[in-house]
Structure 1
Amino acid sequence: MRLPGRILDLFGDDAVWSGDHVGMRGETLRVTFPTGVYYVKQGPAARGERDRLVWLRRWMTVPEVVAFEGDALVLSDVGWRSLERKARPPQAGTIMGRALRALHGVPVGECPFDERLDVKLGRARERVAAGLVDPRDFDEARTGLTPEQVYERLVAERPAEEDLVVTHGDFTPANVLAPPSGEPVLIDLGALGVADRHVDLALALRELDERSGADFLAAYGLAEPDPRRLEYYRMLDELL
C-alpha cells in the first residue's frame, strides 16, 4: 500500500503499522499512534465509503472520517470488538436485529446511493467478465457451478419486485461492533445504498446459528423473511 504523503505526515514516525486486525475488509492497515488507533483503507472504493460514512452519521453510529486524500481513507477506531469473535456474546442476534431495524428505518428518499438489482447485477456481470470471481469460494449449494452459470441463474430468477430500504450491503457479525452499552457501530459501509431488505437479511441469517437467528428476526421485527429472496441474494453475493 503506497499512501499519499499527507496521510503519512498525519501520523509521523511514531506510528506502528499493521495488517493484523479483525472486522475490516479490503486493503486496510491498522495504525497505532500515541493519540489513538486508526484504520487506513485504500483503493477505488475508498471515496464511496467516505461519502457513505459522512451521509449516514446523521442517523447511525459509524466510525469518524479523520482524513481522505487521493484514494486513501483514514478512520478512527471506536475501540470495540466485532461480533465475529469466537466468544460471540449470546445477545449477538438481538444486537444485530436492532441495529438493522434502525438502519432500514432511515428514509429511503434521502439516500443518494443506489444499490438496487440493476446496479448489483451490472457489477456482478463486470466482475465475472473480468475473471474476478473464484468459484472455489462458492457456498456448498453452488459447488460445481461456474461464475457464468451463477450469473445466468441470477438473471433468470430475478425477483419481480424489490422491498426497498437503506441497506448495509455486507451485514455480517464482522461488520457490527458492540459496545458494553449503547448503540452498536456499523463498519465497512462501501456497499451501503437503497436495495431490497433481503440483501442484509440473507447475509446476517447465513452467519448466525439457529438460536441467534431467531433472536435476530425477533429484534428486527420480521417473523418470516421470503426464503426465495434470501437464497437469491446469497447467490448474488457469490459474485460481488
Structure 2
Amino acid sequence: MRVTDRIGTLLGDDAVWSADHEGLSGHVSRVTSAAGVFYVKQGPAAAAEHERLRWLERWASVPDVVAFDGDTLVLADVAAPSLESAAPPHIGTIMGRALRDLHAVPIAECPFDERLDTRLARAADRVRAGLVDPDDFDDDHRGLSARRLHDRLIADRPATEDLVVAHGDYTPGNVLLPSGGAPVLIDVGGLGVADRYLDLAIAVRDLGEDFGPAAVADFFTAYGLDAADERKLYYFRLLDELF
C-alpha cells in the first residue's frame, strides 16, 4: 500500500505493516510504530467511509480519524475486541441495543443514500464487472449465478422500504466492545438511509450461525421487534451475496 508523504511521516519510519485484509471499506492494514497503532484503509470505499465517520461521530461511538489524505484513511486503534472475537454471553442483547440506537437517528439528518435503488444499481455494476464470486454464496444459494441472483432480487423486490439510518454491514465483527464503554461501530463505508432489514438480515444470519438461536432471540428482544418479516430477512440476506 503506497501512502502520501504526509501519511508516511505520521506513521513514522519504523512503521510495521500487517498483511492487507479485504473489507467493504477497501484494503485494510494494521500499522504499528513508535507513534502508536493505526488502521489504514485505501481506495474509493475508504473515502466513503471517511465521510460517514465524520458524520456518524455525532450520533454513535466510532474510531477516531487520525488523518485522511488522497484516498487514504488512517484510524486510531480502539484497543477493544470485536463482539465476534470476545463472544460475550449476552452478545445478542448488545447488538440489538446498539442497532436500536443507530436506527433511532433521524433519517432527515443523514446525507447518505443506501436505498434499494442505489444498492441494486451498485450490485448490477458489480455483477457486470465480474466482482461477485458465487463460490462465496451461502449454502442455499450455491449453484446460482450472480446474474441470476440479481434477477431474482429485481423480481422479488419489496413493495415498500422501512427506512432508517442503517450500518450497511452489521455483523458481530463490526461492533467493538471497549471495557466499560459503549459499543464502537466500525467498517461503516456502506452506512446510509436504507430499509432496517438491511441490517437485521445480516445480524440475524451471523448471530444464528455463530452463536445460536438464543442469541437471535436476545437480539430481537433488545432491538424491540416482536415479529420479524421472514421474507425481508431472506431478501436482504440475498442482496448481501452481491457485496
Q: TM-score, normalised by structure 1?
A: 0.96
Q: Paired residue for 2:158?
A: 159
1:5, distance to aligned residue in structure 2 (A) = 1.7
1:88, distance to aligned residue in structure 2 (A) = 1.0
1:170, distance to aligned residue in structure 2 (A) = 0.2
**In the superposition, relative to structure 1, how do residues 218 and 228 fare at CA in structure 2: closer, same or farther (>3 Å)?**
same
Amino acid at match of 2:68: F
1:17, distance to aligned residue in structure 2 (A) = 1.5
Q: Paired residue for 1:231?
A: 234
Q: Paired residue for 1:189?
A: 188
1:34, distance to aligned residue in structure 2 (A) = 2.4
Q: Distance in 2 between matches of 1:22 and 1:36?
A: 22
1:91, distance to aligned residue in structure 2 (A) = 1.2
Q: Paired residue for 2:12?
A: 12
Q: TM-score, normalised by structure 2?
A: 0.95
- Match of 1:74, SS? strand
- Match of 2:83, SS? coil
Amino acid at match of 1:169: G
Q: Paired residue for 1:53?
A: 53
Give matches, 1:161-180, under 5 Å. Answer: 161-180=160-179
Counterpart of 1:216 (choices 214, 219, 222) is 219
Q: Is the 8 A contact 1:15 1:31 kept in 2?
A: yes
Out of 5-14 and 16-25, give the one that drifted further. 16-25
Aligned pair count? 239
Amino acid at match of 1:3: V
1:25, distance to aligned residue in structure 2 (A) = 5.9
Q: Which runs of 5+ in 1 are unaligned?
A: none
Q: Which runs of 5+ in 2 are unaligned?
A: none
**In the superposition, relative to structure 1, how do residues 225 and 75 fare at CA in structure 2: closer, same or farther (>3 Å)?**
same
- Match of 2:84, SS? coil
1:52, distance to aligned residue in structure 2 (A) = 0.2
Q: Paired residue for 1:141?
A: 140
Q: Is the 8 A contact 1:63 1:187 kept in 2?
A: yes
Q: Paired residue for 2:105?
A: 106
CA RMSD, Structure 1 to Structure 2 (Å) = 1.6
Q: Distance in 2 between matches of 1:84 and 1:58?
A: 25
Q: Is the 8 A contact 2:26 2:45 kept in 1?
A: no
The answer to whether residue 65 in structure 2 is matched with residue 62 in structure 1 is no
Q: Distance in 1 between matches of 2:122 and 2:63?
A: 26
Amino acid at match of 1:135: P
Q: Distance in 2 between matches of 1:76 and 1:68?
A: 12
Q: Is the 8 A contact 2:67 2:73 kept in 1?
A: yes
- Match of 2:179, SS? coil
Q: Distance in 2 between matches of 1:92 and 1:37?
A: 27
